[in-house]
A and B are shown apart, each in its own frame.
Chain A
Amino acid sequence: EAGVAQSPRYKIIEKRQSVAFWCNPISGHATLYWYQQILGQGPKLLIQFQNNGVVDDSQLPKDRFSAERLKGVDSTLKIQPAKLEDSAVYLCASSLVGGPSSYEQYFGPGTRLTVT
Chain B
Amino acid sequence: AQTVTQSQPEMSVQEAETVTLSCTYDTSESNYYLFWYKQPPSRQMILVIRQEAYKQQNATENRFSVNFQKAAKSFSLKISDSQLGDTAMYFCAFKGGSEKLVFGKGMKLTVNP
Binding site for B on A (CB under 8 A): 3, 33, 40-45, 48, 55-56, 89, 91, 93, 100, 103-110, 112
Contacts and interface: CB of A to CB of B under 8 A. Distances in A.
A100 B59 CA distance: 15
Interface in B22-72: 33, 37, 42-47, 50, 52
B101 A104 contact: no
A29 B99 CA distance: 15
A97 B3 CA distance: 24
Nearest to B46: A107
A43 B4 CA distance: 12
Contact of A44 (B50, B95, B103): B103
Contact of B100 (A42, A56, A106, A110): A56
12 contacts: A40-B105, A42-B104, A44-B103, A56-B98, A56-B99, A56-B100, A89-B43, A105-B101, A107-B44, A107-B45, A107-B46, A110-B43
